[in-house]
Amino acid sequence: MSLPEAFIEKMTRLLGQEEAQAFFASYEKPRAYGLRANLLKITPEQLQALVNFPLRRIAFCKTGFYFNPDDHPGRQAFHQAGLYYIQEPSAMAVAAFADAQPGEKVLDLCAAPGGKSTQLAAAMQNQGLLVANEIFPKRAKILSENIERMGIRNAIVTNETPEKLADYFPGYFDKILVDAPCSGEGMFRKDPEAASYWSPAHVNECAALQSQILDQAYRMLKTGGTLIYSTCTFSPEENERTIEAALERFPDLTVQALEKIGGIADARAKWSISQKKQLKHAARLWPHQLEGEGHFICKLLKTADSAEARLREAVSVKEAQLHDYRFFEKAALREPLSGCFQQYGNQLFLLPESCPDLKPLRVIRAGLHLGEFKKNRFEPNHALALALPISQFQSVLALNNQSCDRYLRGETLPVSADKKGWTIAALDGFPLGWGKATAGQLKNNYPKGLRRRGLVYPE
């Protein structure tokens, strides 16, 4: 592939002739494709046994697999059911290193389209609070759709600037991920167009933006909290030097050692100005050293005392307001849901536990979207179908490959005459969406925007 001349020169100077040769040779090799099992729905072993195409383990991510692109896992019904997320393999190392835990307060500050947020959420097992933020509205919508598909219940999707979030959440989060906008040098093989936007000036602009974002992230971190910084670029200006500059602005931050497994390498402290030894604890993923694209990952611990934001908790709507929802719930679900219910217009959401009041923020998704109040009735949202296990639904239509394809195209399906009301259409025990059964037919409620146009299953 053709790479910018100045990029070739710079990388050759940085790496030296011998390593540069191996590095540039990787651009002539095919790239690796990856997907990640969604632990909220399935284990990696179960997924491997379930799908009809081969999966090969990724050494540095326990839930990740390589797949053959000819198998098109993105077109499979199990993808629509949220059993896996298609993600560039090296990118999986970032959230794996973040090591989010159930019950924590976690922020993904630059989150769209959601690869790392969905991985953080899987590790959190729907316990605690995940704020997934994206500054651009269109990208925030895609992020929100991916959060929905993966069945995540404890995520708030926001569309804010880092500054606005930092004003609201000072000293609040246990973990913050800054997967920063960058010059994307590590993705030239995956996205050759990215190479055409590259210039040394762009590298410097990105570095300046990254420092601004890190300043806001630092403000939001608790004492003892950890900040994961990552990019998909090689330039020292956006990696070792960005971290080095952050260490100078915030002397209490320390770089935490990362376990260098599966071909992951130390960061290159010698590419910084100060050559601080601790910089090598950060990680670099190189396309000539492992099967994946280029990435940089650094984990920082904050030790300075910071006053924690005491935010007002959101207050649930009154039970009387839930009357139509409870009526639906009694007929359609096996166990009632509890927690903090919030109504926005006609839409009803169930917030994550101990969720702060969200009014001052631009919120795209407030936890689990339960559905919509219509005149004297409640209509469930697609998110609810994807967020609960099959055992929670009273009425289920088990699909086969053919009826599954018809369901995903939006067709009406035959059901036994005794089936009535809101019914989950499921494949192999995994919910795909709602339908409403009446008089031997299942009226299809699969969202119009997600419907398939041709026969694509099974491939």
Ligand X SMILES: C[S@@+](CC[C@H](N)C(=O)[O-])C[C@H]1O[C@@H](n2cnc3c(N)ncnc32)[C@H](O)[C@@H]1O
Least Å from the CB of residue 180 to ligand X: 6
- The residue from 170, 181, 410, 429 that contacts ligand X (CB under 6 A) is 181
Residue 81, annotated ligand binder?
A: no
357 is in an annotated binding site: no
Q: How far is the CB of 322 from ligand X (least distance, A)?
A: 34
> Which of 61, 182, 206, 232 is an active site residue?
232
Do the annotations mark residue 113 as ligand-binding?
yes
Supply the minimum distance, in Å, between the C-beta of residue 143 and ligand X.
8
Beta-bridge mates of residue 423: 435
Whose Cβ is closer to ligand X: residue 161's or residue 275's? 161
CB of 161 to ligand X, least distance (A): 6
Q: State which residue, 116 or 369, has the beta carbon closest to ligand X.
A: 116
Clarify whether 232 is annotated catalytic: yes
Q: In 3D, which of 2, 19, 8 has the Cα closest to residue 284?
A: 19
What CA–CA distance (Å, rounded) separates 451 from 459?
17
88 binds ligand X (CB under 6 A): no
- Residue 73 in marked binding region: no
Residue 447, preceding bond cis, omega within 30 degrees? no
Question: H helices within 125-181, ranges in order?
Answer: 137-149, 162-168
Q: Does 135 bind ligand X (CB under 6 A)?
A: yes
Q: At what angle do helices 115-124 and 137-149 cross, to 10 degrees?
A: 40
Over the window 110 to 129, marking each residue x when it contacts ligand X by CB under 6 A and - when it does not, the resulting string is: xxxxxxx-------------
Answer whether 284's CB lies under 8 Å from 264's CB: yes
Q: Does residue 64 belong to the site contacting ligand X (CB under 6 A)? A: no
- Give the end-to-end CA distance of the chain in Å, rounded to a whole number: 31
Residue 425 marked ligand-binding: no
Q: Which long-range contacts (CB under 8 A, 24 or more apart) does 277-283 make?
A: 278/247, 278/254, 279/240, 279/243, 279/244, 279/255, 281/255, 281/256, 281/257, 282/239, 282/240, 282/243, 282/255, 282/258, 283/93, 283/97, 283/258
Shortest distance, CB of residue 360 to ligand X, whole angstroms?
Answer: 18
Report how far residue 88's alpha carbon sits from residue 67's, in angstroms, rounded to the nearest whole number.
11
The answer to whether residue 294 forms part of the interface with ligand X (CB under 6 A) is no
DSSP state of 51: S
Question: Is 35 in contact with 65 (CB distance < 8 Å)?
Answer: yes
> Does 184 count as an annotated binding residue?
no
Range 186-245, binding ligand X (CB under 6 A): 209, 213
> Residues 179, 244, 293, 329: which binds ligand X (CB under 6 A)?
179
- Per the annotation, where are the binding residues for S-adenosyl-L-methionine? 110-116, 134, 179
Query: In the complex, which residues of this chain contact ligand X (CB under 6 A)?
Result: 91, 110-116, 134-136, 139, 162, 179, 181, 209, 213
Catalytic residues: 232
